[in-house]
Structure 1
Amino acid sequence: MDEPEELPTLVATASHPPGDNPTCREHALSDLCRWSAFAGVAARTLVQPLDTIRARVMVSSRPLSVWQTIEQAGTVPHKQRTWRCTTLLRSLYRGYSISVLVQAPAVATYLTVYEKTKSALSQWTASYRAAQQQPPLDLSSASPWNHLFSGLAAESVSAVFWTPMEVLKQRAQVAASDADASLRVLTRRTWAEEGAHAFFRGYLLTIGVFGPYAMIYFVTYERLKRWWSSVLSRTGPLPSWSVLTSAAISGAVAAALTTPLDVLKTRLQTSRLLAGEHLSAWGLASQLVQRQGSRVLFRGLGPRILWVMPNTAITMTVFEYFKARAESRTAPIPPSEGAAQSNRCFTDR
């Protein structure tokens, strides 16, 4: 079976093949970034309540049900049993504003770095083979090593956006009241009490959580896509339903395997430390296991999987759809169509 087609290098060059329009490539890159951001925001809007439940379950000192977790946050007083839909939604969407502000550039950076790294590593392997040499490591587009390193690179770069978002978002999600969950209040309080470095607390741990997550996710995702290509006898873009299922399954697998790391990250980033205080991930893990047992590291496993599956499924389905459109826009124009056609963008729509 032929290998899946690589994402075109969406960069204009001084010289290019006949019919290969650099302007279209620039437009395709712009579209890819824009729709990657749109996919991330759309997914975040739908799954924010599940993420809030995940955070509250993970930081709880004892096992709680979903409804008990909402009540514990003070959104619905124990004496008040008339549950209002607006109150419940406001509670579950705490931290949404900071998520939306950061989600667009973070997701666009994440997916763009992944695709660019994947393409660069594949070209590196191809250069060895073109010279009839064996590369030190097979990093072709079909290699799991390519997907592993590309996922790690994407996470390492985009963590600059993710880490401050996670700190503020999770503190809002576990706040005792809506007033305490205000983005302005949280930002001022964190800055005044803990300093600027608090916004990047857990940066390395974020990479430690989502680095392995990204590697597991993309290796599984690319394997499933190749399997679908074989089953459906497709060499081009896959149907959206197959991308959706591949992304959801891959997200569930990666989320389950990295839950203990996510518990530590969530606890560390929601803790309030005074200037000069330090709490390591290892020290936190030791405290949790000693006080609550090893099962505490898997607390929130269900909500985490339920949050990740639709999030990744929506994001990747939208991304793959517009990636396919970007590839069609940058496809070389056949010479038979004439030089006069060389300045238009190719589309299949």
Structure 2
Amino acid sequence: MSASGEPVTLPDSSAARMSPPSTAHEPAITDLCSWSAVAGVLARTAVQPLDTIRARVMVSSKPLSIWETLQRAGTESCARYHRRLGRFGAFVRSLYRGYTISVLVQAPAVATYLTVYEKTKFALAEFEAASRTSPHRRPLIDLSASSPWNHLCSGLAAETVSAVFWTPMEVMKQRAQVATCDADATLRTLARRLWTEEGARALFRGYLLTIGVFGPYAMLYFVTYERLKRWWSRFLTKSESLPSWSILASAAASGAVAAACTTPLDVLKTRLQTTRLAAGERLSLWRMASALVREQGYQALLRGLGPRVLWIVPNTAITMTAFEYFKAQASSRTVSTASLEGVAS
């Protein structure tokens, strides 16, 4: 996104819907990975404190407001950080627990996530176009680039593949975020304790649950996001471009809807991944959910809804706006290069 409001080119515009997709216009996989990695790290840096608040509210044994969570963050830092950084510095450090873990994994995770989404969306659109011209292959559903079915399938594929990165990150990051002391939240301490007490398998605890939470989230998010972008394109302009602020608004609104709808699943995932178990010990998700509802009521499944939405909205807005901006810049450079080559020839 540029300060001058430079428009962002829609990846599946009305012109693209009129003809089958062409591999000549498909972004290179290296470019997709680079753009999405940078966008993901920028977003993570901005929203890490909100994610920390979300995790602490969700694992609390009693309802906590955001203000109460912030007050606790100021008192849970170790004395040595109070002396070295001051009260405010220790407070900020407490909110950024798990940041190192997040950044190390965020780049490959977001790169995989958005690259798989874009590549799957493009491949499904090509399959749809080929099927339309073949009398022997008729798709059961519409998989064109503008179809919600395409966005739904692409979102699920993106989450399933990228969960290989997200799951270990979530396990380590959330344990750092809910630790009662900064000394217990370092990457080295967490890794050593997890390895010796629970084994390497603990890194992937909740992998299927991560897909169960963020699979529906990604499906709902991308369907809503693509619909909103198309609505903006009809409402604002007849060209193939959208202003950057409309991309920002579409990503934020889609993130809010998807985050709110999947909060109960995220509560269970967060509790499962932050529970310490002995090596070989298993924790039934159903048993944990039943105990939570029995002890704290059904409202416990919505605990952290506010912080989760407040975390995801700016995270998705920053990530997608930056990603679309980088993609638009690369597309404009490609078009300019092609034009120059055409003139030269």
TM-score (norm 1): 0.86
SS in 1 for 2:64: coil
Does structure 2 retain, via aligned residues, the 8 Å contact 1:8–1:330? no
Provide the C-alpha distance between the structure 2 equivalents of 1:8 and 1:193, rounded to a whole number of angstroms. 51
Give the corresponding residue for 1:31. 31
Give the corresponding residue for 1:255. 259
Give the corresponding residue for 2:8. none
Q: Are 2:91 and 1:88 equivalent residues in the alignment?
A: yes
SS in 1 for 2:338: coil
Q: Which amino acid aligns with 1:3?
A: S
Following TM superposition, by how much is the alpha carbon of 1:137 offset from its aligned partner in structure 2, in angstroms?
1.4
Q: Are 2:126 and 1:105 equivalent residues in the alignment?
A: no
Q: Are 2:306 and 1:306 equivalent residues in the alignment?
A: no
Does structure 1 retain, via aligned residues, the 8 Å contact 2:43–2:318? yes
Provide the C-alpha distance between the structure 1 equivalents of 2:297 and 2:317, rounded to a whole number of angstroms. 33
SS in 2 for 1:45: helix
Q: Which amino acid aligns with 1:56?
A: R
Following TM superposition, by how much is the alpha carbon of 1:72 offset from its aligned partner in structure 2, in angstroms?
4.3
**Alpha-carbon spacing, 1:4–1:255, altered in 2? closer, same or farther (3 Å):** farther
Q: Are 2:174 and 1:170 equivalent residues in the alignment?
A: yes
Q: Which amino acid aligns with 1:52?
A: T
**Alpha-carbon spacing, 1:42–1:191, altered in 2? closer, same or farther (3 Å):** same
Following TM superposition, by how much is the alpha carbon of 1:5 offset from its aligned partner in structure 2, in angstroms?
3.4
Provide the C-alpha distance between the structure 1 equivalents of 2:77 and 2:67, rounded to a whole number of angstroms. 10
Following TM superposition, by how much is the alpha carbon of 1:237 offset from its aligned partner in structure 2, in angstroms?
2.8
Does structure 2 retain, via aligned residues, the 8 Å contact 1:155–1:211? yes
Q: Are 2:295 and 1:291 equivalent residues in the alignment?
A: yes
Does structure 2 retain, via aligned residues, the 8 Å contact 1:95–1:170? yes
**Alpha-carbon spacing, 1:9–1:183, altered in 2? closer, same or farther (3 Å):** farther
Among 331, 334, 338, the residue aligned to 1:333: 338
SS in 1 for 2:185: coil
Say which is worse superposed, 161-170 or 124-133, in terms of deviation: 124-133
SS in 1 for 2:241: coil
Deviations, residues 169-218 of structure 1 (Å, cap 9, x unaligned):
00000001000001100000001000000000000000000000000000
Q: Are 2:123 and 1:120 equivalent residues in the alignment?
A: yes
Among 122, 129, 132, the residue aligned to 2:132: 129
Does structure 2 retain, via aligned residues, the 8 Å contact 1:5–1:236? no
Query: What percent identity do the matched residue pairs reach?
Result: 67
Provide the C-alpha distance between the structure 2 equivalents of 1:323 and 1:76, rounded to a whole number of angstroms. 41
Give the corresponding residue for 2:42. 42
Give the corresponding residue for 2:61. 61
**Alpha-carbon spacing, 1:272–1:336, altered in 2? closer, same or farther (3 Å):** closer
Provide the C-alpha distance between the structure 1 equivalents of 2:101 and 2:280, rounded to a whole number of angstroms. 27
Alignment of 1:68-83 (within 5 A): 68-72=68-72, 74-75=75-76
Give the corresponding residue for 1:344. none
Say which is worse superposed, 148-157 or 275-284, in terms of deviation: 275-284
Provide the C-alpha distance between the structure 1 equivalents of 2:314 and 2:56, rounded to a whole number of angstroms. 19
Following TM superposition, by how much is the alpha carbon of 1:64 offset from its aligned partner in structure 2, in angstroms?
1.4
Following TM superposition, by how much is the alpha carbon of 1:134 offset from its aligned partner in structure 2, in angstroms?
3.7
Q: Which amino acid aligns with 1:205?
A: L
Following TM superposition, by how much is the alpha carbon of 1:70 offset from its aligned partner in structure 2, in angstroms?
4.1
Provide the C-alpha distance between the structure 2 equivalents of 1:144 and 1:268, rounded to a whole number of angstroms. 32
Among 221, 231, 234, the residue aligned to 2:235: 231
Provide the C-alpha distance between the structure 2 equivalents of 1:300 and 1:170, rounded to a whole number of angstroms. 14
Q: Which amino acid aligns with 2:342?
A: E
Provide the C-alpha distance between the structure 2 equivalents of 1:69 and 1:2, rounded to a whole number of angstroms. 44
Task: Give unpaired runs (5+ residues) of structure 2.
Answer: 1-11
Give the corresponding residue for 2:247. 243
Aligned length: 323
